[in-house]
Chains A and B, each alone.
Chain A
Amino acid sequence: MKEKAYHSIHITRDKCIGCVHCLTACPTKAIRIKDGKALIIDELCIDCGECLRACPYDAVHSHTTSFAALDAFEYKVAIPSTVLYGQFGGTTLPTEILAALRRIGFDEVYDLSSICELNNAATEEYLNDHPRPRPFITSTCPVVVRLIQRRYPALCGQILPIEPPREIAAKILRTILPKALNLAPEKIGIIHLTPCSAKMVSIDSPATLHKSYIDGAISIRDIYPQIFNALRKSEEDALMRHLFPETQFSGIGMGWSLAGGETRGLKHHRAVAVSGVRDTMRVLDQVEAGLLQDIDLLECTVCPDGCVGGPLEVENRFLAKSRILQLVDAVGERAVVDPKDASRLYHRNFLSFDHPVVPVDSHPLDADPARAIRKAQRREKIFAKLPRKDCGACGAPDCWTLADDIVRGQAHIEDCPFVNKEKP
């Protein structure tokens, strides 16, 4: 298990000018400026994409699947995040968007809102069956899972072990499509379309599955122009599709990408929804201190306002949110999943994790307890000498992190321009 940590977030060195925007934006303090360029510390990065949002020079790149890479598959299936429905203004309906995806080259396209409803039903059943511990935490946001593994290891056991909708959908399709199409499973490509900078990480190194059921993730930003053009060319077609919608969208699932959307459908449990990476950390701190035990389910998504605030979307999140709320209103309370089907799959463990979430190596000052204690003492003494301006000029995000780097042997006190000056 000592393989190198995989990340989707990378710095494009040619574009990086070594400023401090990403440095201070990183919630886990995983970035340093070394030799004038930003450098990500693998063990600390959770692929949240905050640096990508903060960089004014487009020097942070999130690895996703390219559209051209799909040629490797004989049969291409798209499972777009419901965020996609909020990306095209006006009166563009989800059915039209799904049809546009077919026109640009996907052989089949499946809506995820029904699977969101399925996940919701399974979550409710799991909470009924497991009165403890409280609160359980949802696993839809891959960054939250990675954050808990690294920063809140004690909470790994509180992650509710039902796979998120994208994996459940892909698993169902993997089960039925090879037989239905009479094709070898590896010839069928199941592709998620996403606004998320971390989906590739959860696909390439899943935290709860032996292997992801998804073959790739295309960013909404990359595929947007093609969909946009396909929509523009087919207004007549769109009119017809308004009259004969071929997909039944789920009312519960439609708002899944908005903060609170994952828990909105729970009937018998108390839920709290948190969004934004810093607020998520604040609440996880409280859960680790034993609070929120009167809450059954805690939904955490690190993007502001939920997945709809993902860094790889196109529409600004307020417009996207408003559009999705309109759709939620239009679909109403419509349920498309038979509770008996949901229950059957749940009891067959078809929706469960392959294995529980396990902590990832923590990052103590030293493996030896006595030495770690001495380093912690030294760190306090070094910190006392630093100016506490948190300017980032040394290459660390703040004075405390510089002190930490120094005792870990990765920086020198001379890196601080203020300490230097004050010396005679």
Chain B
Amino acid sequence: MPAEDVFSQEFPVKGGDFSKAGAVACRIKDLLKDMGLDTKIIRRAAIASYEAEMNVIMYAWEGRMSLAVSPEEVQIIVDDQGPGIADIEKALTEGYSTATPEMRELGFGAGMGLPNIKRNSDVFHIDSQTGRGTHLEIIIRTNGHRT
């Protein structure tokens, strides 16, 4: 694929900054709309990137989200420095959450974050090292075919 056909941009995300919650996901959504992607694809990307952004804000110290858009696919990579996820399999179970009571009080931590991201992506890859951070990579194909 020729490099000029890939739009890429990086967004910093600060851990604990709830006042900016959703700002990156919203930006990503607007960019995808400008690039004329299908409404359903944009909705999936919006939901996945919102959940990913919230994970960084809620659990990590800081992170970076990278967006890469080609005519074939939307790729979102999230790297954070944070406590990492001890048991990824458990974290992928709906309803499982390590959110504190304070976070739950605010309406977060329903244990749907990662499962929701996975449900809305065609390729889902996650790596984590406890005490260091998490690397999340998702792809949403623009032709709507899932693998």
Could you list which residues of chain A lie within 8 angstroms of chain B, going by C-beta atoms? 153-154, 285-286, 288-291, 359, 362, 364-367, 369-370, 372-374, 376-377, 379-380, 404
What secondary structure prevails in chain B residues at the interface with A?
helix
Kindly report which residue of chain B lies nearest to residue A376, judged by CB atoms.
B7
Cβ contacts under 8 Å, B51 to chain A = 290
Looking at the complex, which one of A286, A364, A366, A377 makes contact with B33 (CB distance below 8 Å)?
A: A364
Looking at the complex, which one of B26, B35, B46, B49 makes contact with A365 (CB distance below 8 Å)?
A: B35
A373 in contact with B35 given A285-B26, A286-B22 (CB within 8 Å):
yes
Complex Cα distance A365/B142, Å? 17
A364 in contact with B50 given A154-B43, A373-B5, A373-B6 (CB within 8 Å):
no
Looking at the complex, which one of A290, A372, A373 makes contact with B50 (CB distance below 8 Å)?
A: A290
B21 to chain A, nearest CB (A): 9
Between-chain CB contacts (< 8 Å), 19 pairs: A154-B40, A285-B22, A285-B29, A286-B22, A288-B29, A288-B43, A288-B46, A289-B29, A290-B47, A290-B51, A364-B33, A365-B35, A369-B35, A373-B7, A373-B35, A373-B70, A374-B5, A376-B7, A379-B34
Cβ contacts under 8 Å, A286 to chain B = 22
Looking at the complex, which one of B39, B42, B116 makes contact with A290 (CB distance below 8 Å)?
A: B116
Contact B39 A374 (CB under 8 A): no
Kindly report which residue of chain B lies nearest to residue A153, judged by CB atoms.
B39
State which residues 81-127 of B face A: CB under 8 Å: 116
State which residues 2-60 of B face A: CB under 8 Å: 4-7, 9, 22, 25-26, 29, 31, 33-37, 39-40, 42-43, 46-47, 49-51
Cβ contacts under 8 Å, A379 to chain B = 34
Contact A377 B26 (CB under 8 A): no
A372 in contact with B9 given A285-B26, A289-B25, A289-B46 (CB within 8 Å):
no
Instruction: Pick the most buried of B37, B39, B51: most chain A CB atoms within 10 A of its CB.
Output: B39
A376 in contact with B34 given A154-B39, A289-B50 (CB within 8 Å):
yes
- 10 extra interface residue pairs, beta carbon distance < 8 Å, beyond A372-B36, A377-B7: A154-B39, A154-B42, A154-B43, A285-B22, A362-B33, A372-B34, A372-B35, A373-B35, A379-B34, A404-B34
Complex Cα distance A374/B29, Å? 17
A133 to chain B, nearest CB (A): 11
